[in-house]
Structure 1
Amino acid sequence: MFISALVFVWLCFYEVWTQDFKCPQGTGFFPDLDQCDLYYICSKGYGEPKLCPDGLVFDDSDPNHERCDIPANIDCGDRHALQQAKPSKGCPRANGYYRHDDPLACDKFYNCVDGRAHELPCPPGLVYDDIASTCAWPQDGHRKDCKNPKKDVLDDGFICPDGPVPGPNGRPLPHPTFPHPDDCQKFYICRNGVQPQKGSCSPGSVYNEDTFTCDDPDNVSGCEKYYEGKKN
């Protein structure tokens, strides 16, 4: 009885949709005027309604292509209405990208596929941005709760400094390096500017903080005699 009622409701809506919608062209894929995840497959001037998978919306940029995508990639304009959501654990809707349900896990998010949540990490230093449905630098994103994420600290106390580090050509380095305070051969790498790692030059060379590379000891002030007396 319940299933029959649902079928009846669907048939009623189907009839309303098909009666109200007029195909702009005889053949193609065209958006509903009010609902962003509803579109029509037109053939010989007759439009058959079809819904995008829950969480996706219709891309109306090309009437010759049938395509649904995440809302961040589609401008719905005045088509604000959406189908009723089908939520599940971690997924406000069955498909799409969503922030992690742990409010402190700013660097993680869920990729929901058919109602199943797949946890994914952002690259080091980035946080998940709800508006853009992608990972972004904290200062560039839209999440006010993730402006100051906790920094990683190495066992010797090194922390990546704040702000961009310009390279020899004046452009910011994506993975800047820094000299070790006590050892000419060693240095630090800041992956994406925020994740610290230890580095070491090959035997016979030392770190040159002016060029951000390993170099001959004679070219680095204070490290000229670093290898004198050291066993090979």
Structure 2
Amino acid sequence: MVEGQFRCPEKNGYYPDPVQCDLYYHCQGGQFEEKLCPDGLVFDDNNPSHERCDTPVNIDCGDRVELQEPKPSKGCPRANGFFRHWEEDVCDKFVNCIDGVANEVPCPPGLYYDDDASSCKWAADSQRKNCNQAKRDKLEDGFSCPEGEVSGPNGRTLPHPTFPHPDDCQKFYICRNGVIPQHGSCPAGAVYNEETFKCDEPQNVPGW
């Protein structure tokens, strides 16, 4: 934009650039200061009294189609935002980039990350076509979370199911959201109960 081309609609407030969605102006007394959202975010022009940038899926940019040059980093096409996993065949996870740092996030079981929605959708509703080889996390001892839901003693699906350790009765595995494996251990004197999916007194555990 040529210097001086923008004019404040009102004396005070925050106003969008007419062509670039992550560029906006702070007007004070009729004078403006050019401002830029963090890379990956765009300006929310709903309320001139508020200075706010948000993810593109939450903002209608309309004709403001231009954006700043991306600042990519490992796993992040832009510094901020939600993106598909850097491994193309991993559809049941996505990446939440914050200031250029990639945070891997799992979708709930049975869902795939959808680019257009910037969220997880049922696999059947997703446009992803290359997900047959989706990879599952493994711990160093080789354990990975089994596919499918796990029901507890009351018949309800367990959101974070647990599984016995093959060699140590005091240890077990936790599958966060059914997909992310982690180690777990019982307090001293307790052992893992496969029937209740919890730590228990040894006398309550069959076969102990």
**Which TM class, normalised by the smaller chain length?**
0.5 to 0.7
Q: Which of 41, 44, 69 matches 1:59? A: 44
SS of 1:82's partner is coil
Hey, what's the Cα distance between the residues in 2 that align with 1:198 and 1:41?
51
Letter in 2 for 1:150: K
Q: Give the unaligned 5+ runs of structure 2.
A: none
Residue 204 of structure 2 is matched in structure 1 by: 219
Distance (whole Å) between structure 1 residues aligned to residue 202 and residue 159 of structure 2 = 26
Question: How many residues align structurally?
Answer: 200
CA distance in 2, matches of 1:75, 1:84: 16
Answer 1 or 2: which has greater strand percent.
Answer: 2
The residue type paired with residue 85 of structure 1 is E
Q: How far 1:63 moved relative to its partner?
A: 1.7
- TM alignment of 1:140-219, pairs within 5 A: 143-146=128-131, 148-153=133-138, 158-167=143-152, 172-179=157-164, 187-197=172-182, 199=184, 201=186, 204-219=189-204
1:38 aligned residue: 23
Query: Matched residues, percent identical?
Result: 47
- Cα displacement (A) at 1:195: 3.5
Query: Which residue is equivalent to 1:17?
Result: 6
1:52, 1:68 within 8 Å by CA — same for their partners in 2?
A: no
- The separation in 2 between residues aligned to 1:123 and 1:84, in whole angstroms, is 26
What value does the CA root-mean-square deviation take over the aligned residues? Answer: 4.4
Q: Structure 1, unaligned stretches of length 5 or more?
A: 1-9, 227-232
* Cα distance per residue 1:187-220 (max 9 Å; x no partner): 4332332234555545654432332112234433
Structure showing greater radius of gyration is: 1
Structure 2 counterpart of 1:71: 56
- For the pair 1:122 / 2:104, whether they are aligned, the reply is yes
Higher relative contact order (CA 8 A, sep 6+): 2
